[in-house]
Amino acid sequence: MRDMGKRQVKNEAALKEIRLPEEGELFGRVLKMMGGENVMIKCADNLTRRGRIRGKLKRRVWIRDNDIVIIAPWDFKEKERGDIIWRFTLPQVQWLKDEKHIPIDF
C-alpha cells in the first residue's frame, strides 16, 4: 500500500484576504443547515434561497448557522437556488459592518 501523504488542510489563518461580492453575487446569512451540501440562506435582497456549498469550499471551510457568506444565484431558478462561494470569519464580518458593506443588523 502506497503512502499518499497528508492532505493539506488550510486553516482560516491562511485565508487572510477578504473578498467582496462581485456583479451578480450577494451577501447572505445562513439560516439552517439542511444536510449534505444544502443550506437555507437569507440573502441581502430579502429572498430566502437554498444554497449549495461548492466542492472546493466544502473540503476547506466549515459553514455553520448564522455565518455570513457570499452567494451566487444560479442562472436558472435564480430566486430559489445559488452557490456559496465564500464564508467570512467573525473579524471579517466586524470589518464589513464597520466599513458599512453590510447592515449592522444583518
pTM: 0.76
Domain positions in the chain are: 23-98
Q: Classify residue 32 by its DSSP letter.
A: E
| Residue 79: pLDDT over 60 | yes
Question: Which listed CATH number (2.40.50.140, 2.40.160.20, 2.30.110.20, 3.40.1190.20) goes with 23-98?
Answer: 2.40.50.140
To the nearest 5 percent, what fractions of the chain are helix, strand and coil? 15, 30, 55
| Residue 39: pLDDT over 90 | yes
Q: Between these two residues, 7 and 59, which has the higher pLDDT value?
A: 59
| Residue 48: pLDDT over 60 | yes
pLDDT more than 70, % of the chain: 85
- Measured in whole angstroms, the distance separating CA 40 from the mean position of its chain's CA atoms is 11
Range from 15-19, 36-40, 60-64, 94-98 carrying the lowest mean pLDDT? 15-19
Q: How far apart are CA 83 and CA 80, in angstroms?
A: 11
Residue 70 in grid coordinates: 457570499
Q: How far apart are CA 42 and CA 47, in angstroms?
A: 6
| Residue 9: pLDDT over 80 | no
Average pLDDT, the chain: 81
Residue 62 in grid coordinates: 466549515
φ, ψ at 19 (rounded to 5°): -120, 135
